Structure 1
Amino acid sequence: MLDDSSEELAAPDSPDLLTQILVGLRLDGLEYGRCELHAPWAVAFPAQRFARFHFVARGGAWLRTATTDWKRLNPGDAVLLPRGSFHVLASAPEVPAVDIHTLSRVAVSDNIYLVGGPPNAAAAAPSDDGPLPDVMFCGTLRFNLDPLHPLVAMMPEVMHAGDLAQRDPTVPALLEAMEREVSLQRIGACGIMARMADVLAASIIRAWVECGCNDPTGWIAAVRCPRIGKVIAAIHANPEHDWTVPELARLMGASRSSFAEAFTRTLGETPAKYVAKVKMFQARRWITHDGMRIAVAAHRLGYDSEASFSRAFKRIVGHAPSVGRGGAGGIPTSQRPSLPEGRELR
């Protein structure tokens, strides 16, 4: 039977799940760097759990990922890699790349650095001795959504601000403001740019959801459906609840068989598998960000033992829950991409 508390979780008067997520979407800037690089240059960014952001302040760059070909970025362009995929930025495609962590950097504040230049690079006057360096503003950002969240999983590998600028007036306005901030070279520019980057990244995602994600099937279509969306909202609102198929079917107002068929057809996975995934990305957030003990997370999510929880976590996430406490954004060493043996990064 469906109890009263479950009815409250999916109250028809509450905002739909997609609206709730977009309203509450937040990206926290973990680290930023103002990079001054003299051509020829090429920098490789290893895969990480957190998102990466790049803004071309001066000059230009070429971008390539493990699955896409080179794409030109011009001054004023910005890109967001929501899942922190491996990628390369270069002054030209043929330049061999070095790892970003091998570049020199000088701290400006707790999480802002000047990369590839002298300590006074941000305020130095242009030199007449040669061409000006290319200037990039790069950042690492953390979603308040787990990487397992369906919305994050649906995002393209690279989100280009220019592709969305014509559809959302907020995006070009922010890009213009960032260009002005860089060109003026005022005191505190790096800190202001960091705040702008947070807002721009969130705006890019919102514009993609509202304008650029036109797939009529899948998760976004499901949460926009009044009946299935009500079920998904209830699952996300209370991942600790021991959801059953009959209970979810009653929320939708359908028989068990018709509910299961409609849910699986729309989302491409069974209700049980979806509930398990939601539980696991809630568990990973508790363990990674809140420092919760694995045994406590297992108990809160209704598992009989820490061992059974750990097996489920590894099956869905791909690694043991204890790995999320480590560095490299929680990506195990075995899962970090590397170059094929004997090949140069180009």
Structure 2
Amino acid sequence: MSAEQFALSSDLINELLRGMRLRGVEYRRIQTSPSFGLGFAEKPGHAWFHFMAVGNAVLRMEDGTTYALSAGNAVFISHGAAHQLYSHADVPAQDIDRLDGVPLGDTVSAVHTGTDASPTPSTILFNGCMEFELGSIHGLGKLMPGLMLIDADGQRYPGLVPILTTMEREVSAARVGFAGILARLADVVAAMVVRGWVECACGNASGLVAALRDPRLAGALLALHQQPGRDWTVAQLAEQCNTSRSAFADRFQVTIGMTPLRYVTELRMRLASQWLTLERLPIEEVAQRLGYTSQAAFSRAFKRVTGKTPGLSRKVRQPIVT
């Protein structure tokens, strides 16, 4: 990749990651005895996150696939699939939601599963259940693997391990404001995981991932995400990539799976949903930001794409679909 192409790709990924939001529903510092089993239920619209600070564990997914984890490893389960963590295969799993925890903050608690009096715990892990809102990169959600393993010695996520270690220290120390710091750090962790996946998923890149890496499309995508309210035409988007209208339209359709103008509409409605539900912006302001001449025109477009009115979207926050 040339320096110019890399700069364009970096600008686009930066723009996309700015819109990503991660809201911690619940964080836990889990301390176990040598023998333990923990079950985590399926959470659609959420992501599970585990960081092994001390000790070892085995991760088992619903399909029976297992992974050995050791101190310094982290796991990001982007689609909220059910899974288990255990010390030995014959240990029954306890539902994590049924275990009592000692509150450490609004969204953080400490859980101790051990029954022995040993002063040294066998395993300490930091667990998070989070609403995973990809914002304008919503299309990446369906393409992301359900499970991403992060190795302290790996090269895909440079700089991530010190952040994870800081999260563990914040949980352990319980200093003033640590819950808010944890939530911010978790947002950074998710952004770095998504970035690392985009950078390294070259073998099976498809859809929006492939478009991010394609200089013949990335210029148009960057312009769209920077100016979603502009009244774009296909010809104007093709100009951003220095290609003909027909060649651009064909490549966009083949790579992303929809027409450029359909992508514009869906992008606007994803942003609208985020601004209405997470940022609580007035409907009129959202309509203006997205280039609609009237609130009524915006409302019609929003209902056509999402199936509900902007007002209803504001009143009832729907589960996030990734």
Q: Are 2:112 and 1:127 aligned? A: no
Amino acid at match of 1:34: R
Other-structure match for 1:191: 178
Does the C-alpha gap of structure 1 residues 286 and 115 become closer, same or farther in structure 2, counting only changes over 3 Å? same
For 2:36 and 2:253, the matched residues in 1 are separated by 51
Number of positions where the alignment pairs a residue of Structure 1 with one of Structure 2: 306
Secondary structure in 1 aligned to 2:232?
coil
Task: Kindly state the Cα deviation for residue 247 of structure 1 after the two structures are TM-superposed.
Answer: 3.2
Q: 1:11-90 counterparts in 2 under 5 A? A: 16-21=11-16, 27=22, 29=24, 31-38=26-33, 39-66=35-62, 69-83=65-79, 85-90=80-85
Amino acid at match of 1:191: F
What do residues 264-305 of structure 1 show as CA deviations (whole Å, max 9, x unaligned)?
122222212211221121011111111235576457543626
What do residues 20-55 of structure 1 show as CA deviations (whole Å, max 9, x unaligned)?
445786756554211234544332233143433111
Contact residue 216 and residue 241 of structure 2 kept, 8 A: yes
Q: Are 2:158 and 1:162 aligned? A: no
For 2:196 and 2:55, the matched residues in 1 are separated by 26
Task: Kindly state the Cα deviation for residue 222 of structure 1 after the two structures are TM-superposed.
Answer: 2.0
Unaligned runs of 5+ in 2: 1-6
Does the C-alpha gap of structure 1 residues 323 and 25 become closer, same or farther in structure 2, counting only changes over 3 Å? closer
Other-structure match for 1:331: 319
For 1:166 and 1:227, the matched residues in 2 are separated by 28
Match of 2:106 among 106, 110, 114: 110
Q: Are 2:303 and 1:313 aligned? A: no
Contact residue 28 and residue 143 of structure 1 kept, 8 A: yes
Task: Kindly state the Cα deviation for residue 156 of structure 1 after the two structures are TM-superposed.
Answer: 1.6
Percent identity between matched residues is 32
Q: 1:280-319 counterparts in 2 under 5 A? A: 280-293=269-282, 297=286, 301=290, 302=292, 304=297, 306-314=299-307
Secondary structure in 1 aligned to 2:105?
coil
For 2:58 and 2:207, the matched residues in 1 are separated by 32
Other-structure match for 1:270: 259
Please give the TM-score of this superposition, normalised by the length of structure 2. 0.74
Secondary structure in 2 aligned to 1:115?
strand
What do residues 41-90 of structure 1 show as CA deviations (whole Å, max 9, x unaligned)?
3322331434331112334333344567232322332111234x122223
Contact residue 48 and residue 78 of structure 2 kept, 8 A: yes
Other-structure match for 2:208: 219
For 2:153 and 2:134, the matched residues in 1 are separated by 22
For 2:137 and 2:64, the matched residues in 1 are separated by 22
Does the C-alpha gap of structure 1 residues 288 and 93 become closer, same or farther in structure 2, counting only changes over 3 Å? farther
For 2:162 and 2:238, the matched residues in 1 are separated by 45
Contact residue 21 and residue 135 of structure 2 kept, 8 A: no
Q: 1:206-245 counterparts in 2 under 5 A? A: 206-215=195-204, 217-245=206-234
Does the C-alpha gap of structure 1 residues 98 and 168 become closer, same or farther in structure 2, counting only changes over 3 Å? closer
For 2:64 and 2:262, the matched residues in 1 are separated by 31
Unaligned runs of 5+ in 1: 1-11, 336-346
For 2:137 and 2:314, the matched residues in 1 are separated by 13
Secondary structure in 2 aligned to 1:16?
helix
For 1:191 and 1:204, the matched residues in 2 are separated by 22
For 1:223 and 1:326, the matched residues in 2 are separated by 33
Secondary structure in 1 aligned to 2:297?
coil
Does the C-alpha gap of structure 1 residues 176 and 248 become closer, same or farther in structure 2, counting only changes over 3 Å? closer
For 2:124 and 2:233, the matched residues in 1 are separated by 54
Secondary structure in 2 aligned to 1:286?
helix
Contact residue 211 and residue 256 of structure 2 kept, 8 A: yes
Contact residue 148 and residue 277 of structure 1 kept, 8 A: no
Secondary structure in 1 aligned to 2:68?
strand
Task: Kindly state the Cα deviation for residue 197 of structure 1 after the two structures are TM-superposed.
Answer: 4.7
Task: Kindly state the Cα deviation for residue 232 of structure 1 after the two structures are TM-superposed.
Answer: 0.9
Contact residue 295 and residue 306 of structure 1 kept, 8 A: no
Contact residue 49 and residue 76 of structure 2 kept, 8 A: yes
What is the aligned-residue RMSD (CA, Å)?
A: 4.1
For 1:101 and 1:147, the matched residues in 2 are separated by 32
